Structure 1
């Protein structure tokens, strides 16, 4: 009898000990969440050094992880720290959203750059809307994030714009290029058949819309009635219908120049002009009420010239952040003057470390090509 009671007591103490560990882990996990949300890199580093498994912690209910919070807030250094701690980069919250989606939604391109560099899945869809990262980036017009998302699909050649239009060039075969996969990515549909181009058109994000068109976005894809999505414009609507609803004359012009059908009717029998009138978008009526005279020439998006495919490959092969320059190494990076040179620019011959080259390629829109490892 006595021994049985002792055994029961030991099991009870063991259970209490496990609960104590659980509560302690939960409390420490919440501290990491707070550090990730607030951008406290010292606190985050100390907690992860104490217990690297905290990187996999998620909050109760919405199940946002520290990676979600740091990505949504743009704390790219903490994002890097969590990745180095072994976090699942494609972890979803209860809405099926990844950290990449949240970084794209809020336009934190430095976070997007890191997540793309570590091969975050750009094709995953949210549970409630079916939207991918490119939809989230386009919703708010974060063009730089869109360009980073397609870094592995756009070759670093100066005349990519001509390649997309079927014009043969000497550069076409320099790098592996799959136009079909690129267009499937760009034309991916969320619930209701809404593409990224629809979203850019509706919200008047002309810069994002132009880049999407240059990447092969279709002006003829239409929305559908899937029984779950409320479409106030009407199913069967093209991006031009959405641009008319949004009232952006510039977006209408770009779509028409790309071959959008001004007379297309949606399921409600409305043309883009009728949509503009029904929503009282007088700014778009003038463009939609007359056919363009002659062919309108639209210059390619400046974001196409960013040689991201080359530099991302170099960063993955040679390391994202190199060590400081030693006395026996080459000249230091011309930007930071501290790190080893890994990349050289064609033409000027300037040499950069991988991190500075990534920064330049993600922030500038001038035509610069990267030749590779030096």
Structure 2
């Protein structure tokens, strides 16, 4: 156990909220920094101990603007953890409301990662700017879209009506973010209150509809189709469509929705590579997704621009279960393919009994 006055022990006392013990030991302490350069004020703010925060500030005159190794201040800690009483105290003592930690995150941004409207209101009422962006180009509204609390989004829109007009440095909008993270209520609000362009693309060419599909959020995908005129055949920067991205992530229900409900051709090819969804699933080693695609009529013999079948890609990735399943599923050219693949795989043997031998026998 650390001796009395040791910084680690002091931090533990603060963490546990033991004010009386802290008052007894603090006078003999030599230095106050804890892990990552935290001061005792950081610890008190992070754990929500207002009495200790007050004591350290008023009895010991500790600096409420002290920074740790990540340039976090006590206000960052209190805001990120949703400790409203500590936030109010620090703001009342004159803490800088838009101070920056590493990556240019403000206390308001950190508060927006949690569903704590009261803390966000306190910060804004003390002058926090919702339009500031961090190093990735996200403002507070963008961050709140990831948490998905519609009340917080409505509040930010009420105090800063243009806050929705934002993109990250890779051109992702709050609608992309809410769709990716399955925040249905947030998506409903964004479609109602904001004017995002249908099928807006980030730098990779991904639309909010693609984000919803590749993450398996079919309810959001349906909403984007009905309320935002999303295009189901939009292509990303590599020519892949939503069906292909769903195959990459193994979203079988999304694949069924696209093919069975929306009539997407199960064998549609990515524009630049001619890869089908089956190719993508095999490349990632998704046996269940391969089964789903075949049950929907996917052509097991489809070739890409390099004349490769799904079996080639399964073998190249050394996905044994996929390779075995495809070999058993009626390949017309399996004899020619297996000869070529056996040679390739023998060169990449992963044990004395090579992957090629195991796959082909």
TM-score range, shorter chain: 0.5 to 0.7
SS in 2 for 1:56: coil
Q: Does 1:103 align with 2:111?
A: yes
Q: CA deviation at 1:201?
A: 1.1
Q: Describe the superposition over 1:140-175 as per-residue Cα deviations: whole angstroms up to 9, x where unpaired.
A: 32333322322214xxxxxxxxxxxxxxxxxxxxxx
Q: CA deviation at 1:283?
A: 2.2
Of residues 180, 192, 197, the one that matches 1:214 is 192
Q: Following the alignment from structure 1 to structure 2, what is the Cα–Cα distance between the partners of residues 148 and 84?
A: 22
Counterpart residue number, 1:273: 243
Of residues 75, 80, 101, the one that matches 1:67 is 75
Q: Describe the superposition over 1:177-230 as per-residue Cα deviations: whole angstroms up to 9, x where unpaired.
A: xxxx53xx2241112111111111112111111111112152322111xxxxxx
The structure carrying a bigger helix percent of its residues is 2
Report matched runs for 1:2-13 at 5 Å.
Answer: none
Q: Does 1:56 align with 2:65?
A: yes
Q: Following the alignment from structure 1 to structure 2, what is the Cα–Cα distance between the partners of residues 105 and 255?
A: 24
Q: Following the alignment from structure 1 to structure 2, what is the Cα–Cα distance between the partners of residues 270 and 132?
A: 29
Q: How many residues align?
A: 228
Q: Describe the superposition over 1:8-58 as per-residue Cα deviations: whole angstroms up to 9, x where unpaired.
A: xxxxxxxxxxxxxxx87979x822222111211112123333477722121
Q: Does 1:44 align with 2:53?
A: yes
When structure 1 is superposed on structure 2, of 104-113 and 42-51 the one drifting more is 42-51
Counterpart residue number, 2:91: 83
Assess if the C-alpha contact under 8 Å between 2:50 and 2:86 holds in 1. yes
Assess if the C-alpha contact under 8 Å between 2:41 and 2:62 holds in 1. no
Q: Does 1:152 align with 2:159?
A: yes
SS in 1 for 2:39: helix
Counterpart residue number, 2:202: 223
Q: Following the alignment from structure 1 to structure 2, what is the Cα–Cα distance between the partners of residues 151 and 53?
A: 37
When structure 1 is superposed on structure 2, of 93-102 and 104-113 the one drifting more is 104-113
Assess if the C-alpha contact under 8 Å between 1:277 and 1:285 holds in 2. yes
Counterpart residue number, 2:182: 204
Stretches of structure 1 that go unaligned for 5 or more consecutive residues are 1-22, 154-180, 225-234, 293-374
SS in 1 for 2:64: helix
Counterpart residue number, 1:188: 166
Using the size of structure 1 for normalisation, the TM-score is 0.56
SS in 2 for 1:55: coil
Assess if the C-alpha contact under 8 Å between 2:113 and 2:144 holds in 1. yes
User: For the aligned residues, what is the CA RMSD?
Assistant: 2.4
Using the size of structure 2 for normalisation, the TM-score is 0.58
Counterpart residue number, 1:178: none
Change (3 A) 1:26 1:281: closer
Q: Following the alignment from structure 1 to structure 2, what is the Cα–Cα distance between the partners of residues 103 and 74?
A: 7
Q: CA deviation at 1:288?
A: 3.1
Assess if the C-alpha contact under 8 Å between 2:56 and 2:62 holds in 1. no
Max Rg structure: 2
Structure with bigger RCO (C-alpha 8 Å, 6+ apart): 1
Q: Following the alignment from structure 1 to structure 2, what is the Cα–Cα distance between the partners of residues 236 and 107?
A: 30
Counterpart residue number, 1:285: 255
Stretches of structure 2 that go unaligned for 5 or more consecutive residues are 1-29, 264-361
